[in-house]
Amino acid sequence: MKNFFDFTGKVVLVTGASSGIGRATAELFGQCGASVAISYLKNQTGAAAAVAAISSNGHGAFAANQAGAAVGTATAAAIAVQADVTKNSEIGRMVREVEEKLGGIDILVNNAGSLVERLKTLELTEERWDEVMDLNAKSAFFAAQAAIPKMLEKGGGSIINVTSIAGRNGGAPGSIHYSSAKAAMLTMTKGLAKEYATQGIRVNAVSPGVIDTPYHETFTARDVWNNMSNMIPMGRVGRSDEVASVVAFLASDAASYLCGETIEINGGLLMD
């Protein structure tokens, strides 16, 4: 039986991968045999820890475990790349560094993003609006633009955008800039998918709901967190590794006919 989650020989770039969903995604791809580039802005310690975690796993260990065989001992390749993805010049440098050190990118996960701070409409400045749009939506588009040429040379690839339930429901109070940026990522996913579907590049997205990450530790008060948790039909918040597994599915051949789709992963909080 084919193991769809063997990514041996694939090069993966995950932006915003020093913590939370990004880090879980990077580490999962490493466990599945991929060479992984971990992009970060300030959290060098987290990025280095993710690199160490990937490097300590045998290359292709996930595939071996799935087959019930002994885990291999070869080291999985992982690097950390510092970049400010709100700047197109930095994105270009980041992608070139990945290509030089690991090879052309096969799988791009646009995970970088943040609310930065909660602000009501009359408090929201042009500067903060631009910052949040750049960090979430602009970064995803230009990272895709930078990675696509090598994907085309290699005959295909996969791009997964990490958006948010906020892009569907408008988000919690004080997050209209963030929810607008995440909604832009939804339409961007469809536009890129339509443009590159015939050229072997599949573009999809995941839309996490309430996930236990540093994001909520920073931006969500504990009483609000408890109320949100109680609203989820599954009765609990999600974990970063649960989102990572959906990202890996979308990048795999198991999702070979999925194109331009956004998978909601929210424990039933929002159902289509």
Q: What is the largest CA-CA distance in the chain?
A: 60
CB of 80 within 8 A of CB of 47? yes
SS3 14: strand
Known active-site residue 196: no
The model's pTM is 0.91
pLDDT of residue 58: 47
**Helices 176-196 and 126-133 meet at what angle, rounded to 10?**
40
Do the beta carbons of residue 14 and residue 24 sit within 8 Å?
no
- Report the alpha-carbon distance of residue 107 to residue 110 in Å, rounded: 10
DSSP-derived secondary structure letter, 155: T
pLDDT for res 112: 97
Which phi and psi angles does 108 have, rounded to 5°? -115, 125
Query: Which tokens hold the place of 271?
Result: 């159902």
Q: What pLDDT is attached to residue 217?
A: 67
Catalytically annotated residue among 40, 178, 196, 215: 178
- Tens of each residue's pLDDT in the chain, 272 residues: 778 899 999 999 999 999 999 999 999 999 999 999 999 999 999 999 999 999 987 443 333 333 333 333 345 699 999 999 999 999 999 999 999 999 999 999 999 999 999 999 999 999 999 999 999 999 999 999 999 999 999 999 999 999 999 999 999 899 999 999 999 999 999 999 999 999 999 999 999 999 988 766 666 667 766 777 888 999 999 999 999 999 999 999 999 999 999 999 999 999 87
Domains (range + CATH), the chain: 11-265 (3.40.50.720)
Q: Say how far residue 109 (Cα) sits from the centre of its chain.
A: 4
How many C-alpha atoms does 245 have within 13 Å on its Cβ side? 7
